[in-house]
Amino acid sequence: MEFIDLKTQYRNIKESVDRRIHAVLEHGQYVMGPEISQLEEALAARTGAKHCIACSSGTDALLLGMLAFGIGRGDEVVTTPFSFFATAEIITLLGATPVFVDIDPSTYNLDAKRLSHAITTQTKAILPVSLYGQCADMDAIVETAGDIPVIEDAAQSFGATYKARQSCNLSLVGCTSFFPSKPLGCYGEGGACFTSDDELAERMRMVRNHGQDRRYHHPMIGVNARMDSIQAAVLLAKLEVFDTEVQRRADVGARYGELLQGIVKTPEIMEGSASVYAQYTIEVEDRDAFQEEMKRRGVPTAVHYPEALHLQPAYSSLGYREGDFPVAEAAAKHVVSLPMHPYLSDEDLVSVAKMVAESIETLRKHSAATRPELIAG
């Protein structure tokens, strides 16, 4: 059983992928070829944003967004402590300081109710993460932010909706990733930024290409963050089946929820939102033991993420301690992700749920045997 089945996906779209890649090999424009503008147009149309700026990774998408706002030394960026490391890493690389806000235990996203307490005169941006494929509570975050720009880290949520609007178009700038395991993934590294602000779009395009506005003329400092044409070709092929895959992900997520109800804590989707289920993440009491039980039954699992960012050694200088963000810390100890992809068969889905139930029951019995006080009566 595959945790994410990219091989079956390829077989399903092989003709289109091969044809599009072959076209790149024929025209020979491997960087910023015509596929880039075609992809940007298609992605912008899908999200409803005026501009899409394709780039070389989701991490670089965050970099483009922050450099476009001039974020740097002495600035603060408010974000979540429960995310992939790149979210905070880019803030630090620019010389700014990540300021963490604890998460909502029901969605694992930044808790909008706690946001105002973290905003200071040094706050240059708010960076919420739409984790596991579900959008953060973006309207509440944008309202609390006021004039402070909000950049959605939508690395895991391209294709998700929030109040009938698309992720990546819920704030001034949205950034996503096309890493192969993402809901829309290429065959290497890729990412994109989205905005409806003309000036920001132009700045991000310049940053993407060494700060150039025309060849060898550099109004600003930038980086090499261009997407290659082959990755754009792959994404164009995958877009042809993306709606079908998003629907299948929703169906798999809903069925998991039915089968696992009352057995483990399952994802909670906000009213008015639709998750794209980049991961299907549950909570269990003894994660290590649970993963061993699932492995013994032939079911792969993964942990996203085992340590909150404020407790990472790289951030020891910020002075945070264990207990500062108890919700994020608890999540890091208990979350575990199950196989989730649009090619997961109904038979395998039911089998995974059965193995989860069996594993939980085995652990319960073991706990009762080693701790007699837990036995009923």
In this predicted model, what pLDDT tens digit does every residue of 227-286 receive, in sequence order? 999 999 999 999 999 999 999 999 999 999 999 999 999 999 999 999 999 999 999 999
Which one, of 31, 85, 25, lies nearest residue 54 by Cα? 31
Q: Within a 13 Å sphere around the CA of 216, how many CA atoms are in the beta-carbon half?
A: 0
Least confident piece of the model among 29-33, 114-118, 155-159, 368-372: 368-372
Asked if 351 and 2 touch (Cβ cutoff 8 Å), the reply is no
- Residue 361 belongs to domain with CATH number: 3.90.1150.10
Cα–Cα dist 346/375, whole Å: 35
173 token code pair: 């700038």
Asked if 118 and 184 sit in the same domain, the reply is yes
pLDDT tops 60 at residue 373: no
What's the pLDDT tens digit per position in 62-71? Answer: 999 999 999 9
Integer-rounded Cα Rg, in Å, for the chain is 21
pTM over 0.85: yes
How far, CA to CA in Å, does 227 sit from each of 53, 64, 179, 188? 9, 13, 12, 10
Domain boundary among 190, 207, 236: 236
Q: Are residues 123 and 258 in the same domain?
A: no
Residue 371 lies in a domain: no
| Structural domain includes residue 174 | yes
Total count of domains within the chain: 2
Q: What is the pLDDT at residue 60?
A: 99
Give residue for tokens 């100890």: 333
Domain boundary among 193, 216, 236: 236
pLDDT score recorded for residue 377: 37
* Residues 227 and 291 both lie in one domain: no
pLDDT digits (tens, 9 = 90+) for 192-202: 999 999 999 99
- Tell me the per-residue pLDDT of 25-37, one tens digit each, with 9 for 90 and over: 999 999 999 999 9
Where among 236, 259, 293 does a domain terminate? Answer: 236
Range of the domain at 92: 6-236
Distance CA 352, CA 346 (A): 10
pLDDT at position 375 is: 47
Tell me how many helices (H) and strands (E) the chain has. Answer: 10, 12
* 377 within domain boundaries: no
Look at residue 369 in the predicted model and tell me its pLDDT.
76
Residues 183 and 218 in one domain: yes
Q: Just list the catalytic residues.
A: 182
Judge if 153 and 253 occupy the same domain. Answer: no
